[in-house]
Amino acid sequence: MASAAKIIKFNKPISKSLKTFLLWGEEEFIGYTEENGLVIKIWCKVCARNKFAILSDRLVRGVMVGSLKAFIEGTSVVTKHQVDRHLEGHIHKLALEIDKRNPTEETGIGHIINPDNQNSLYNKQNIREAYFKMIKTAYEMALKPSMPHSHFEVLIKCQRLNGVQLVEGKGHNRAARQFISCIANAIKEKIAKIVKEKNFFSILSDGSQARKTKDEKELVLVRVERDGIPAYLVVSLLEMNSLDGVNANTIKKGIDSIFNESGNIPLTADAYKNKLVSATSDGASVNLGMYNGVLTQMKNNRTWLVKMHCVNHRLELAIKDSARNIVQYRDCDQFYTTIFHLFRNSGKLKSEVKKAAEALNITYYTLPKISGTRFVSHRRRGLTRLVHNWPAIIVGFDNALVNRNTTAEMRAKLFGISKRLHDYRLLCMFCGYLDVLEKLSPLSLVFEKKTLMVHEVKPAIDLTKDYLVELSNETIDDILDSYLLKFRIKYKDDTTTLVSSYFKDGHELKKTNAEFVDIELYDMTNINIDSINAAIEVRKTAVNIIKPLIDDRFSSLSNTVFESMSWLDPQFWTADNMYGDASISLLIREFKIPLEYAGLKVEMVLSEWNAFKLLINTEYKGVTTALLWEKIFVYYRKTFPNLLLLVELIMCISCSNSSVERIFSILTLILSDRRLKMSNQTMEDAILIAGNDPNFTVEERDDILNSALNIYLNKRRGVRLESMEGTDAALETIDSSDESSIDDEYSSTSESDY
């Protein structure tokens, strides 16, 4: 049996005199370190400059990597043989080719770093810049919630192939998660600073259960005023299982923990109590219960607190109540749900319908889910797509019925559905339903605005009710704009058909030269004027039902406190010199404690108000409300300090949970089927970044990334940031043993999270 021979390699330092080294004539490519007239270390300038590009080459592997590192980091074996062998080798030739393709100046990151001068300030700045690029890459990746952290490796590799010099060994998914964690911590610090500096804020919360794991999450946002504009900031994603279940007490406890001195938003007990002026949620009893709801408990020690049931949820509940009372519209919802589930469960059937749309030369639109809690615009979009796809669905279902591969069970379902699809009366009911939703949809979009203020709700509702009255008064003779006009009855000989005009596939977005195609539907039943009149009558009944339901759902907003906030909009001002005085006085009494805590001088408010009215009438007449307050907060904060305290309080009151729903949509994108085991901390980091990004300016974003870099360097790397004055950074090397504790810190969110 042959014994394995152990090869021992000795690297005994060999130096040469400077005179001898210069006689070799290779100083153009070879750098050197001189000491007492001797060259004690040499390295390759070209290879050092193109280190990362060379390492990304697939042919550079194994022993070649070791040889490359020797001539980048520097070798103490200074011999002519070493130099010649390197200059004639594949690695050096590859470096020369890279230099030709990407000529670089001897400045910036591409500058050759002297291995004996690693602690120079210049090299530390290079290291910091390289880390900053990687953290910025991680940030941009986190803004795409569906992108897994494993893609970070691809992004880094692409940058290196393009000549960007980055830190070696940090291009993997675990490093990405560490970068993202540091960015999230920097964002928490930024948000905490913003909330601390503000005089008032409101809380928005909503719960959701994971689709497969059934874990309950509670998402918490705050609304604050920033330069005259309401802003929503994501502050935490609570894991309710760790708080002993889901009930009003645990949710209240979880929300309170965010704002205690050890939470994400560290506030004193007095600040948390007196700065909170409003709380918004959906209408679940756990939130708005009369005796023990979360918001009720918050109001127990804050008599001024505004408890708000989300206005968009109220509108959706009013529509659901009306649909339940109208048999025809309830039937439309059920029919839509049946087709939606057929498409979701049968890819072949959906493919048949798509082929039919292609044959008809029209665009097929995917049907969204409208069951459950969906805002009006979602429901309208779904029904609009169904009506648009109607001809393609008829053709696709008819083709599936004659297909031999269709099962008997599926054929029975399709036969019944196809029969209903050929019923013109049902199609008219869908069109009438869409007419009603078309009048309600603008109201829903108003409620979804981020800048919505509570005094704007009632005027928007009154305007919508006027539109509904106009709709109910329409007859078949004066219909000008209705979905009922989409399908025209055509009489030819003894045949009656339906004709509808569609954009040709791909022509919907064309502003000029758009082409249309007329599609004719045969074998339709109930094609007569009576079907249209029946739809109009049902539509009228729906309006008469939904109006009182809306009044009932929004009755709590008809109170003097909310009506007293309308003076924020100059369009409501009257010529009365005393206008607004009573409303302002009422608000000061209602919110006396938080205003006094913020330092309001009551005696100065009305005088500032009179001066403010004069300023608006002379300098800002006709300016939109949003732009007006933005300018006032930026340029006149010192002129009207007390009046603007009251305005800030009103702007903090939120009446819609739409922003919370948007963040849950981001969370849905994050939690794909392959990422259901992701830890709560990793999820929270992701939504803190993606959810808060729209609130930050470019300068604030750069500050956050620099702060994240400082957190990362102070935690983990072989360089520690001690102080930062201007652009100078003092860095010191830390012992590598510190890294073991850091590894443990991140191990809880390792690969098992995917």
Alpha helices (H) in 346-485, listed in sequence order: 347-360, 376-402, 408-421, 424-447, 457-472
In the structure encoding, which two tokens stand for residue 342, read together? 């057929």
Residue 603 pLDDT level (bands cut at 50, 70, 90): very high
Find the range with the poorest average confidence among 303-312, 445-454, 557-566, 672-681.
672-681
**pLDDT on residue 111:** 37
> Are residues 254 and 260 in contact, defined by beta-carbon separation less than 8 angstroms?
no
Return the SS3 of 579. Answer: coil
> Does pLDDT of 736 surpass 80?
no
Amino acid at 548: P
Query: pLDDT: is 7 or 246 the higher one?
Result: 246
d(CA 94, CA 213): 52
**pLDDT on residue 1:** 40
**pLDDT on residue 266:** 94
DSSP-derived pairing of the beta strands 276-281 and 306-309: parallel
d(CA 142, CA 138): 6
The three-state (H, E, C) secondary structure of 488-546, written as one string = EEEEECCEEEEEEEEECCCCCCCCCCCCEEEEEECCCECCCHHHHHHHHHHHHHHHHHH
CA–CA distances in Å: residue 281 to residues 295, 312, 658: 8, 11, 10
Highest mean pLDDT among 163-177, 237-251, 426-440 belongs to 426-440
Query: pLDDT: is 672 or 380 the higher one?
Result: 380
10 backbone dihedrals φ, ψ, rounded to 5°? -105, 135
d(CA 319, CA 335): 17
Average pLDDT over the chain, rounded to whole? Answer: 84
> Does pLDDT of 179 surpass 60?
yes
Query: pLDDT: is 101 or 71 the higher one?
Result: 71
In the structure encoding, which two tokens stand for residue 416, read together? 């019944």
d(CA 661, CA 671): 15
Torsion over CA: 70, 73, 74, 77 (sign): negative
Residue 211 pLDDT level (bands cut at 50, 70, 90): low
> Are residues 469 and 677 in contact, defined by beta-carbon separation less than 8 angstroms?
no
d(CA 271, CA 200): 9
**pLDDT on residue 730:** 35
Query: pLDDT: is 718 or 25 the higher one?
Result: 25
* Nearest of 557, 555, 562, 574 to residue 650 by alpha carbon: 562
d(CA 659, CA 692): 11
Query: pLDDT: is 9 or 260 the higher one?
Result: 260
d(CA 743, CA 741): 5
Residues 6+ apart with CB under 8 A from 393: 339, 353, 356, 386, 421
d(CA 316, CA 230): 24
> Does pLDDT of 372 surpass 50?
yes
DSSP-derived pairing of the beta strands 16-17 and 38-44: antiparallel
**pLDDT on residue 557:** 87
* Nearest of 310, 309, 288 to residue 299 by alpha carbon: 288
